[in-house]
């Protein structure tokens, strides 16, 4: 008896169809499609509207209220806009989420940020409370728990300048709002970043090498785990839901303290 294939949702944010990112997108989707059912979201090609506006907040439009609560009411009442419904369907069906983008101004393109704003709504991606502890089900738990995510990012800078002591800041820290504050917050476990440095200056041979490197990583993605996973809120390392206990890594305030095996 055959088992159903796992599902991948690949979210891609780059405007040029002839770009290096487009090459990685095509090659990666093709490689995964041999063993997975792959659904894609090509944000620019789909002309996804990243602006959270009136329809996302329900009828009557323009009414007063907290945005989070209004979006929760919209989700609970089945009034989510059709384009968001489709994205939520793909994300809900996924076992693995791949998020690919170029690093622009030290963060993802605005269209991807808008996708998170509109798709990860109250009720769908967060909101429940653990009845036993009274803690919100977030940071490792929640409606999207059980999924893993691979973030693929291309950067124009070299490994030194965007490394731990680099003038541009450490890439893991720059993307902390995505990996921890967005993915892990909703229960999705982020794997180690897949980074392509000097992406603006790669020649044909280097592009072929980077495509092969991505395909090699994807070939083993089913068995991959993060090398240094984030701490779960429920495990008691934080005071309530606010701060890491003072006996854990005392004196340190860097973002690495939120990983289980912090160095």
Per-residue pLDDT tens, the chain, 263 aa: give them.
456 789 999 999 999 898 999 999 999 999 999 999 999 999 999 999 999 998 999 887 778 889 999 999 999 999 999 999 999 999 999 999 999 999 999 999 999 999 999 999 999 999 988 888 888 899 999 999 999 999 999 987 777 777 777 777 789 999 999 999 999 999 999 999 999 988 888 889 998 998 999 999 999 999 999 999 999 998 889 987 789 999 999 999 999 999 997 45
The pLDDT assigned to 64 comes to 86
Asked if residue 16 is part of any domain, the answer here is yes
CA-to-CA distance for 233 and 140, rounded, in angstroms?
7
Q: Is 261 a domain residue?
A: no
Q: Is 215 helix (H, G, I), strand (E, B) or coil?
A: helix
pLDDT at residue 242, rounded to an integer = 85
Which pLDDT belongs to residue 199? 84
- The answer to whether the Cα torsion of 170, 172, 173, 177 is positive or negative is positive
Residue 29 belongs to a domain: yes
The reply to whether 60 falls in a domain is: yes
pTM score, two decimals?
A: 0.93
Contacts for 142-146: CB closer than 8 Å, 24+ residues apart: 142/185, 142/186, 142/187, 143/186, 143/187, 144/91, 144/92, 144/186, 144/187, 144/188, 145/187, 145/188, 146/95, 146/187
Per the structure, the count of domains in the chain is 1
In a domain, 259, yes or no: no
Q: Tell me the pLDDT tens digit for each residue of 151-160.
A: 999 987 777 7
Domain membership flag for residue 59:
yes
Give the CATH number for residue 214: 3.40.50.360
- Residues 124 and 77: beta-carbon distance below 8 Å: no
Residue 161: predicted pLDDT = 77
Distances (CA, A) of 191 to 25, 101, 138, 150, 222: 18, 16, 17, 5, 11
Please list, in sequence order, all residues whose beta carbon lies within 8 angstroms of the beta carbon of residue 169, skipping any fewer than 6 positions away. 106, 162
Query: Is position 252 within any domain?
Result: no
Residue 185 lies in a domain: yes
Which residues form the domain of 107? 7-228
């Amino acid at each position: 008896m055959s088992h159903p294939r796992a599902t991948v949702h690949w979210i891609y944010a780059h405007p040029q169809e002839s770009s290096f990112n487009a090459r990685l997108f095509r090659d990666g989707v093709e490689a995964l499609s041999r063993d997975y059912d792959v659904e894609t979201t090509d944000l620019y090609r789909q002309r996804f509207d990243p602006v959270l506006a009136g329809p996302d907040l329900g009828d009557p439009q323009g009414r007063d209220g907290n945005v989070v609560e209004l979006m929760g009411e919209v989700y609970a009442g089945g009034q989510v806009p059709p384009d968001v419904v489709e994205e939520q369907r793909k994300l809900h069906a996924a076992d693995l989420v791949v998020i690919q983008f170029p690093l622009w101004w030290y963060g993802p393109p605005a269209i991807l940020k808008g996708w998170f704003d509109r798709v990860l709504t109250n009720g769908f991606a967060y909101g429940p409370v653990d009845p036993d502890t009274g803690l919100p089900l977030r940071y490792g738990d929640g409606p999207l728990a059980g999924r893993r995510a691979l973030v693929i990012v291309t950067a124009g800078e070299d490994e030194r300048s965007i490394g731990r002591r680099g003038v541009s800041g450490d890439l893991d820290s720059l993307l902390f709002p995505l990996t921890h504050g967005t993915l892990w917050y909703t229960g999705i476990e982020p794997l180690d970043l897949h980074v392509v440095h000097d992406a603006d200056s790669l020649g044909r041979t280097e592009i072929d090498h980077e495509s092969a490197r991505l395909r090699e990583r994807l070939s083993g993605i089913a068995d991959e785990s993060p090398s240094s996973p984030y701490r779960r809120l429920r495990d008691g390392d934080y005071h309530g839901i606010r701060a890491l206990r003072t006996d854990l890594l005392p004196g340190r305030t860097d973002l690495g303290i939120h990983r289980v095996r912090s160095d």
